[in-house]
Amino acid sequence: MTTRNGVLRILSLVDFFLRAPEFQPMIRYSWYSSGLGELEKPDFKTAKEICFDLGDMKCSTCEKDAFIRCNWCLKFLCFEECFHDYHVMICGKRDDFFLSLTHLEHN
């Protein structure tokens, strides 16, 4: 894989994970903290708490150490299954992700 394709894949995966509903309070907090919206401070979990508090967890489908928790399907993923297998296209909740993109286009 070329470096450019690797960078595009990383950006796509970050976009995929950040669009999950679990991140909505964190995104709303940015509006609150900037003073541009949100009158009440939303409680939120950080990206570390949501995706990377893995402890000794193993990948949900193999025995490798978990690299990240998918906050769409809630599975623990090793690096290979997240990055090389491009989890966006094999996530069990990818339809919800694509539906969320459609929802954004109509608002």
Nearest by Cα to 78 from 102, 59, 98:
59
13 binds Zn ion (CB under 5 A): no
Could you say which of 14, 62, 99, 101 contacts Zn ion (CB under 5 A)? 62
Contact 73, 92 (CB under 8 A): yes
As measured in angstroms, the least distance from the Cβ of 30 to Zn ion is 24
Instruction: Note whether 69 and 54 are within 8 A (CB).
Output: yes
70 near Zn ion, rule: CB under 5 A: yes
Contact residues for Zn ion, defined by CB under 5 A: 59, 62, 64, 70, 72-73, 78, 81, 91
